[in-house]
Amino acid sequence: MAVIGAGPVGLAAAAHLLEHGERPVVFEAGASVAHAVRQWSHVKMFSPWRYNIDSAARRLLEQSDWRQPDCDHLPTGGELVSDYLEPLSKVPSLAECLRFESKVLAVTREGIDKVRTQGRAERAFLLRVDEKGEQSESLFKAVIDASGTWGNPNPMGSHGLHPIGEESVRDRIEYGLPDILGKDQADYRNATVLVVGSGHSAFTGVLELLELKKQYPETSIIWVMRKRSLDKVFGGGANDALPARGELGSRAKAAVDAGEVELISPLEIQRVVREGESQMKVVGYGPDGEREFVVDRAIVKTGFRPDLGILREVRIAIDESLESVHALGPLIDPNEHSCGSVPPHGARELAHPEQDFYIVGMKSYGRAPTFLLATGYEQVRSVAAEIAGDHEAAARVELNLPETGVCSAGPAPSCNGVSASSCGVEEKEKSEAACCGQPDQAASDQERTSCCG
């Protein structure tokens, strides 16, 4: 069977399949594992190691001389790769499954297209792959798409489109997570920088720019969000079970309150115009009408969207608004749930009309921003069991996630078989529902009202 993507969730899928006696082939477009994670290797994660290591992957690693990191340490993206994903990729049983520089171009059924129904489930999946410039086709009984969304950022403009004129200033705009305090520092010091976005990545960018401003005081920060209400933007603060996550929001809010950052919200960016050689004028609309300002650089942290192009010839059920797996859409849709929560889910919820085909990981969430690695690990544990015929294991729920601080969740997972309380995180006596933008346990309407108003 095929796994698309050798990131954390794709490798976890392979590890679980191996435990079930399957022989997966993992296709990775990059030259090594975790190609996307390497793009943000300088960024410190807000979740400690206890939430970042998959159970089946750990069991594979324990067969080698791997030393598990401190479960309370907050790894950077680089440490996630060097201390976990690279050692995992070198475990012999998994290493022989990996195919690097192998970009999947299309997924279909052998000999038939999307239209044909009769005998469809009996046909093998056919993957067309570009491997180091040579195209080939291979057959598989099942496919797990864990290719993520990293290469497809949401645009900075309103209407879900790039603003008019962006092509003319593309050299002034960075989508993603630039290394502001490191190799990319020269682009931002003593510059007027626009940050677009309202999530934790935006918090990180703003705080790094403030750190840069200490050394280069002419650095100026304009922060734009589309949100009309900021009530829940900054999170649960000190009540967050992941202190680093809560601290990000608290520090960002403090910077805004102190006037160190100019926050403009709501604002819909509609066009940009080059100003001279090194600046651009940004034009947007808010409650008071048109507003414009000139900046040197823009950092866009508005999330990502899935690339569904390779799946054109398979029958998939996609939420019409979020582009997530259809069954997840109503659970994570911010239009419907101010306290949106995602119950633990697996093969049943991730199933598509195309039998034995699954989208997992970040890609399963579509445009929703609340995915956590632990969620993806539970997804692939269940999916691997279902593919292998262990329906009881597939239906079982094995997920605990950290509370957000706005609402509460279950106890943290154990660390190397030891209870979370023994690893420095106090276990809660009662597991309550989590909501307000994080994918934790499902809540009743009454619970959601009590915790989020």
Q: Which domain holds residue 185?
A: 158-300
d(C-alpha 385, C-alpha 403), whole Å: 28
Please identify which residue in the block is written with the tokens 């010839």.
313
Looking at residue 82, the DSSP 8-state letter turns out to be: I
- Residue 47's nearest CA partner among 21, 14, 13, 84 is 84
Q: Does residue 450 fall inside a structural domain? A: no
- Residue 372's nearest CA partner among 438, 424, 416, 292 is 438
Q: Write down the pLDDT at residue 245.
A: 56
Helix (H) or strand (E) holding 125: strand 125-131
293 with 308, same domain: the answer is no
309 with 361, same domain: the answer is yes
321 with 377, same domain: the answer is yes
d(C-alpha 103, C-alpha 175), whole Å: 22
Task: Give this prediction's pTM.
Answer: 0.84
Q: Write down the pLDDT at residue 191.
A: 97
Q: Does residue 432 fall inside a structural domain? A: no
Please identify which residue in the block is written with the tokens 């994570």.
332
142 with 181, same domain: the answer is no
22 with 123, same domain: the answer is yes
238 with 259, same domain: the answer is yes
Supply 358's token pair.
């699954």
Helix (H) or strand (E) holding 446: helix 445-452
59 with 163, same domain: the answer is no
The per-residue pLDDT string of the chain (453 residues; one tens digit each, 9 = 90 and over) reads: 999 999 999 999 999 999 999 999 999 999 999 999 999 999 988 889 999 999 999 999 999 999 999 999 999 999 999 999 999 999 999 999 999 999 999 999 999 999 999 999 999 999 999 999 999 999 999 999 999 999 999 999 988 899 999 999 999 999 989 999 999 999 999 999 999 988 778 888 898 999 999 999 999 999 998 866 555 555 544 444 455 555 666 777 787 788 888 998 889 999 999 999 899 999 999 988 999 999 999 999 999 999 999 999 999 999 999 999 999 998 888 676 544 466 778 999 999 999 999 999 999 999 988 788 999 999 999 999 999 999 999 998 777 665 544 332 333 444 554 333 223 333 333 332 233 333 333 333 333 222 222
61 with 144, same domain: the answer is yes
313 with 385, same domain: the answer is yes
Supply 387's token pair.
């593919």
Number of domains, the chain:
2
Q: Does residue 442 fall inside a structural domain? A: no
